[in-house]
Amino acid sequence: MFDYLIVGAGFAGSVLAERLATRSNKKVLIIDKRNHIAGNAYDHYNEEGILVHKYGPHIFHTNSKDVFEYLTNFTDWRPYEHRVLASVDGQLVPMPINLDTINKLYGLSLNSFEVEQFLESVAEDIPVIRTSEDVVVSKVGRELYEKFFKNYTRKQWGMDPSELDKSVTSRVPTRTNRDDRYFTDTYQAMPLHGYTRMFERMLDHPNIKVMLNTDYHEIIDFIPFKEIIFTGPVDEYFDFKFGKLPYRSLEFKHETLNVEKFLAAPVVNYPNEHLYTRITEFKALTGQQHPKTSVVYEYPQADGDPYYPIPRLENAELYSKYKKLADETPNVHFVGRLATYKYYNMDQVVAQALTLYKKLTEKSEEALQAKKPAISGSASLVEKLVSRAPKQE
Ligand SMILES: Cc1cc2nc3c(=O)[nH]c(=O)nc-3n(C[C@H](O)[C@H](O)[C@H](O)COP(=O)(O)OP(=O)(O)OC[C@H]3O[C@@H](n4cnc5c(N)ncnc54)[C@H](O)[C@@H]3O)c2cc1C
Res 58 pLDDT > 90: yes
38 and 110 both lie in a single domain: no
CATH number at residue 235: 3.40.50.720
pLDDT at res. 362: 87
Q: Ligand 1 in contact with 32 (CB < 6 A)?
A: yes
Angle among Cα 43, 46, 48 to the nearest 5 degrees reads 145
Selection from 331, 319, 322, 392 nearest residue 360 by Cα: 331
Please indicate, yes or no, whether residues 13 and 71 belong to a single structural domain of this protein.
Answer: yes
Verify that 216 and 333 share a domain, yes or no: yes
58 C-alpha to ligand 1 centroid (Å)? 10
Residues 67 and 132 in one domain: no
> Is the CB of residue 349 below 6 angstroms from any atom belonging to ligand 1?
yes
CA of 121 to the centre of ligand 1 (A): 41
pLDDT of res. 381: 31
Q: What average pLDDT does the structure give for the chain?
A: 92
257: in domain: no
Tens of pLDDT, residues 303-338: 999 999 998 889 999 999 999 999 999 999 999 999
My answer on whether 342 and 237 are in the same domain is yes
Are 113 and 20 members of one domain? Answer: no
Residue 375: pLDDT above 70? no
Residue 166's pLDDT is 82
Same domain as 217, residue 158? no
270: in domain: no
Q: Is the pLDDT of residue 243 over 90?
A: yes
Last residue of a domain, one of 334, 351, 368: 351
Residue of the CA atom closest to atom 35 of ligand 1: 8
Q: Looking at the predicted structure, is the pLDDT value of residue 55 above 60? A: yes
9 shares its domain with 65: yes
Check residue 365 and give its pLDDT.
75
Is residue 147 in a domain? Answer: yes
Backbone angles phi, psi at 18, to 5 degrees: -60, -50
Tens digits of per-residue pLDDT, 293-304?
999 999 999 999
Does position 377 have pLDDT exceeding 70, yes or no? no
pTM here?
0.92
pLDDT at res. 373: 59
Q: Which atom of ligand 1 is nearest to the CA of 352?
A: 26
| Class of residue 15 by CB neighbours under 10 A (exposed 0-12, middle 13-18, buried 19+) | buried
Rounded to an integer, the average pLDDT of 276-299 is 98
Q: What is the pLDDT of residue 391?
A: 29
132 & 58 share domain:
no
Q: Residue whose CA is closest, atom 33 of ligand 1? A: 8
Q: Whose CA is nearest to atom 7 of ligand 1?
A: 58
pLDDT greater than 80 at residue 65: yes
Phi, psi of 124 (to 5 degrees): -95, 145
Return the residue whose CA atom lies nearest to atom 5 of ligand 1.
58
CA distance 121 to 141: 8
Whether 256 is in a domain gets the answer: no
Mutate to test the pocket of ligand 1, among 190, 202, 216, 231 (most ligand atoms within 8 A of CB): 231
Residue 252 lies in a domain: no
DSSP H/E element including 333: strand 332-334
Is residue 158 scored above 70 in pLDDT? Answer: yes
8 lies in the same domain as 124: no
Contacts of 205 (CB under 8 A, 6+ apart): 18, 21, 22
pLDDT at 173 over 70: yes
Average of pLDDT values for 35-63?
Answer: 98
The CA 63 to ligand 1 mean position distance, Å, reads: 20
**pLDDT reported for residue 171:** 66
Please work out whether the CB of residue 39 comes within 6 Å of at least one atom of ligand 1: yes
Q: According to the model, what pLDDT value does residue 372 have?
A: 66
Going by CA atoms, what residue is nearest to atom 34 of ligand 1? 8
Domain for residue 285, yes or no? Answer: no
- Within a domain: residue 362? no
Confidence class of residue 388 from pLDDT cuts 50, 70 and 90? very low
Domain span at 123: 97-170
Shared-domain flag, residues 217 and 311 = yes
The answer to whether residue 91 sits within a structural domain is no
**Res. 382: pLDDT tops 50:** no
169, 136 contact by CB (below 8 A) = yes
Nearest to 16 by CA among 39, 35, 42: 39
Mean pLDDT calculated for residue range 143-147 = 95
Query: How many whole angstroms from 41 Cα to the centroid of ligand 1?
Result: 6
Q: Is 339 in the pocket of ligand 1 (CB under 6 A)?
A: no
Q: State pLDDT tens for residues 93-138.
A: 999 999 999 999 999 999 999 999 999 999 999 999 888 899 999 9
| Same domain, yes or no: 238 and 322 | yes
Tell me, rounded to whole angstroms, the distance of Cα 5 from its chain centroid. 23
Q: Does residue 179 carry a pLDDT above 80?
A: yes
The 10s digit of each residue's pLDDT in 255-279 is 999 999 999 999 999 999 999 999 9
Structural domains counted in the chain: 2
Is residue 7 within 6 Å of ligand 1 at its C-beta?
Answer: yes
pLDDT computed for residue 366 by the predictor? 75
Cα(382) to ligand 1 centroid in Å equals 32
Task: Work out the average pLDDT over 10-17.
Answer: 98
Interval between CA 161 and ligand 1 midpoint (Å): 25
> Which string of DSSP letters, residue by residue, matches 311-324?
--HHHHHHHHHHHH
